[in-house]
Amino acid sequence: MSLLPVAEAQARLFALAPPLPAEEAPIAACTGRWLASDVLALRNQPWADLSAMDGYAVRATEWPGPWRVTGESAAGGSVPAPLPPGEACRIFTGAPLPAGADTILIQENATRDGDRLTASDDPLPVGRNVRLAASDFALNDRLLAAGTTLTPARIALAVLGGHGALPVGRRPKVALISTGNELVPPGAPTPAGSLPSSNAAMLAAMLAALPCDVIDLGIVPDDLGAMTAALQQATSADIIVSTGGASVGDHDMVRPAFAQAGGALDFWKIRMRPGKPLMAGTLGDAVFLGLPGNPVSAFVTATLFLLPLVRHRAGSAAPLPRTTQARLAALLPATADRDDYLRAYRGEAGIVSVTSQDSAATAAMAMADCLILRPADSPSAATGDTVTILPLMD
């Protein structure tokens, strides 16, 4: 198989399975999820012309008074009676204006003597300190579009629009499988020949930022039967992810085990560095992603494929990571025949790639807060050149 370009592999991955069915989730369970359909306003906001300040509702044309203070209007109280000419209504922030009033004189600029009121500042334009009915949004306005992620601000908007629950994509179940005879669980003793398995903990930490449920199926030895059984056990998940055993060595069991378990491989080997041995396919209703075992390769391929796949299946209309442009603080060598995803950080003087770009260099990876995207066959880049970067989650 020839090496597949990254964008093509991402498109093929999304084509393997549609977004999961929608469900109605209470607002408290919506954070970070994606809307399955448009959200319309069930009410006007504000519901009436409301005061934006504590003070007096008056007619601006009667400035500077004197007015006779008659009624009072407070948020949550009853709608005040219409305001006769020459009169003012004591009013508080968020309260409805009486009919006839059009402007709020704030109390700091008012002189009051009993029920006699005058303005002590310059005339105000009509409508000052008033929030007009439906000026934020009106009944039946489309507040949010399907496929939008529910940020805190959008949750506020939906709630003010009258919603207590929203239609969102179901949370994908993601099963993690670590493979390798050399691996021991985090924190366990590491006799010679063994090392702690870090990939599942790293992937779970990356996935914690997304609306999904992670099931860690633990460490599976480099054994065809054991790996086949682990994959079969994982088919109730929506996404199955393995790390390790993805390459061409005698102990790399993932591809044969996937075939043995009944999986249909869609692609293997991507034109990227790190991450070349990445593979994907379907196993029952689940989408399978086989990530390389090197921790840096697993990190980069999870950033470019696993997190986007979770977003896609959870209903995102824009599942790919965002990129931006930035200036280099140091030169970069020319690239070879694969796209480079260099681990880098944003320094005071610009972007700096970390010291080691080896796909097993975790100490260097831990310094990175972005990836520099360098297409295959790029010439060297000089200090001050603009490059494309992909900011990483903190």
Ligand X SMILES: Nc1nc2c(c(=O)[nH]1)N[C@H]1C(S)=C(S)[C@@H](COP(=O)(O)OP(=O)(O)OC[C@H]3O[C@@H](n4cnc5c(N)ncnc54)[C@H](O)[C@@H]3O)O[C@H]1N2
**Smallest gap from residue 307 Cβ to ligand X (A):** 18
Which partner from the list ligand X, ligand MOO, none does 295 bind, CB cut-off 5 to 8 Å by kind? ligand X
Per the CB < 8 A criterion, the answer to whether 279 and 255 are in contact is yes
Q: Which residue's CB is nearer to ligand X, number 58 or number 246?
A: 246
Stretch that binds ligand MOO, among 13-21, 49-57, 270-278, 386-394 (CB under 6 A): 270-278
Q: Which residue's CB is nearer to ligand X, number 146 or number 184?
A: 184
Residues 291-310 that bind ligand MOO (CB under 6 A): 292, 294, 297
Distance of CA 161 to the CA centre of its chain: 22
Nearest residue to ligand X on Cβ basis: 293
Judged on CB neighbours under 10 Å (0-12, 13-18, 19+), 125 is exposed
The single-letter code of the amino acid at 218 is G
Q: Which residue's CB is nearer to ligand MOO, number 180 or number 275?
A: 275
Stretch that binds ligand MOO, among 81-89, 225-233, 273-281, 329-337 (CB under 6 A): 273-281
Three-state secondary structure call for residue 206: helix
Which partner from the list ligand X, ligand MOO, none does 282 bind, CB cut-off 5 to 8 Å by kind? none
Which partner from the list ligand X, ligand MOO, none does 260 bind, CB cut-off 5 to 8 Å by kind? none
Per the CB < 8 A criterion, the answer to whether 382 and 323 are in contact is no
Q: Containing H/E element for 9?
A: helix 6-15
Separation between Cα atoms, residue 380 and residue 259, nearest integer Å: 41
Q: Give the number of other CB atoms < 10 A from CB of residue 273.
A: 20
Q: Which residue's CB is nearer to ligand MOO, number 46 or number 244?
A: 244
Stretch that binds ligand MOO, among 168-176, 221-229, 271-279, 339-347 (CB under 6 A): 271-279
Token pair of 352 as six digits: 């700096």
DSSP 150-201: --HHHHHHHHHTT-SEEEEEPPPEEEEEEE-TTEE-TTS---TT-EE--HHH
Separation between Cα atoms, residue 333 and residue 330, nearest integer Å: 10
Stretch that binds ligand MOO, among 40-48, 95-103, 119-127, 289-297 (CB under 6 A): 289-297
Which partner from the list ligand X, ligand MOO, none does 281 bind, CB cut-off 5 to 8 Å by kind? none
Which partner from the list ligand MOO, ligand X, none does 9 bind, CB cut-off 5 to 8 Å by kind? none
Phi first, then psi: give them for residue 26, nearest 5 degrees: -60, 150
**Smallest gap from residue 300 Cβ to ligand MOO (A):** 7
Separation between Cα atoms, residue 301 and residue 307, nearest integer Å: 9
Judged on CB neighbours under 10 Å (0-12, 13-18, 19+), 128 is middle
Q: Containing H/E element for 13?
A: helix 6-15
Q: Which residue's CB is nearer to ligand MOO, number 80 or number 274?
A: 274
Q: Containing H/E element for 117?
A: strand 116-119
Which partner from the list ligand X, ligand MOO, none does 87 bind, CB cut-off 5 to 8 Å by kind? none
Token pair of 284 as six digits: 């029952």
Q: Which residue's CB is nearer to ligand MOO, number 180 or number 274?
A: 274
Q: Which residue's CB is nearer to ligand X, number 285 or number 358?
A: 358
**Smallest gap from residue 339 Cβ to ligand X (A):** 13
Per the CB < 8 A criterion, the answer to whether 330 and 281 are in contact is no
Is residue 274 involved in binding ligand MOO (CB under 6 A)? yes
Site residues (vs ligand X, CB under 6 A) = 178, 180, 182-183, 195, 197-199, 243-248, 252, 274, 276-277, 292-295, 297, 359-360
Q: Which residue's CB is nearer to ligand MOO, number 37 or number 362?
A: 362
What does the binding site for ligand MOO look like in residue numbers (CB under 6 A)?
Answer: 273-276, 292, 294, 297, 359
